[in-house]
Structure formats: C-alpha cells, structure tokens
C-alpha cells in the first residue's frame, strides 16, 4: 500500500529481503541522518548557502526514497531544484516545508515500526 508520504510496498519488500529487525535498524540510522541534515538546513536558513542547501537536499531525496519516504523524497528534490533559482523567501519556505515533512515522515514510520521509537 502506498500513499503520498509513505510507500509501504517498498518497506514490505525491504522486510522480505532483509527481515524486520534489519529494516528497523536501517530506518533508525536513516531517520537520525535525516534529522541531522534537517538541523544543517535550519542552520543554513540565515546565510542561505545555496550550494550546501542543494547538496543536503540531494542527499535527502535519494536516501528517503530508498526507504519508501516518497513525500520526503519529492520535497527534498523540489528544494534541490529550487536552490539555485528561487528567491530567498521561497527558498526558506521550501526548507521549512521539508523539515515539516521530515517530522511527519518520522511519525508515520514510528507508527509502522514502533520498535524504532521516537528519535
């Protein structure tokens, strides 16, 4: 099952291949990494270091998509695309939206994998 934020088919396939315990470990690491990247983005909001923003968004887009967080992957890809061309206000709005999407993605993953607990 898939929705706009979380693709359970990807997670189910990962579980089939790796087992639930290993998937939970991967998710824990990926979410911790996402939270760190979100903090880095927040710190970049004041200075708007566009190349750094673009690099972080690129990393988030790829890693989140690989674990079924399709909404987060789309938000990060949109930020990556916008980093060079959007106004400062638009860029800050996209950065804020990406951080909010990460929070919701984390909440949804914890619903599916309570064993990873809140990060």
Give per-residue pLDDT as tens, 95-113.
999 999 999 999 999 999 9
Q: Coil, helix or strand for 68?
A: coil
Residue 85 in domain: yes
> So what's the pLDDT on residue 4?
83
**Alpha carbon distance 9, 59 (integer Å):** 22
With b for 16 or more beta-carbon neighbours within 10 A and e for fewer, the 36-67 pattern comes to ebbeebeebeeeeebeebbebbbbbbebbbeb
Residue 1 in domain: no
Give per-residue pLDDT as tens, 35-81.
898 899 889 888 889 999 999 999 999 999 999 999 999 999 999 99
pTM comes to 0.89
**Alpha carbon distance 41, 18 (integer Å):** 31
Give per-residue pLDDT as tens, 10-29.
999 999 999 999 999 999 99
Structural domain harbouring 57:
8-116
> So what's the pLDDT on residue 50?
93
Q: Coil, helix or strand for 117?
A: coil
Domain at 40, CATH number: 1.20.120.160
Q: 113: number of CA atoms within 13 Å, CB side?
A: 23
**Alpha carbon distance 107, 118 (integer Å):** 8
Task: Say whether pLDDT at 1 is over 50.
Answer: no
Q: Specify the number of domains making up the chain.
A: 1
């Amino acid at each position: 099952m898939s929705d706009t934020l979380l693709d359970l088919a990807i997670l189910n396939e990962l579980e089939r291949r790796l087992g639930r315990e290993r998937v939970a470990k991967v998710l824990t690491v990926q979410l911790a990494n996402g939270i760190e990247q979100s903090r880095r983005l927040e710190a970049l909001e004041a200075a708007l270091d566009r190349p750094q923003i673009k690099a972080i968004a690129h990393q988030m887009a790829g890693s989140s998509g690989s674990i079924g967080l399709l909404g987060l992957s789309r938000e990060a890809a949109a930020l990556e695309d916008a980093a060079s061309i959007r106004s400062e206000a638009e860029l800050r709005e996209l950065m804020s939206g990406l951080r909010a999407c990460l929070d919701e993605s984390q909440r949804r993953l914890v619903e599916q994998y309570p064993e990873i607990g809140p990060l």
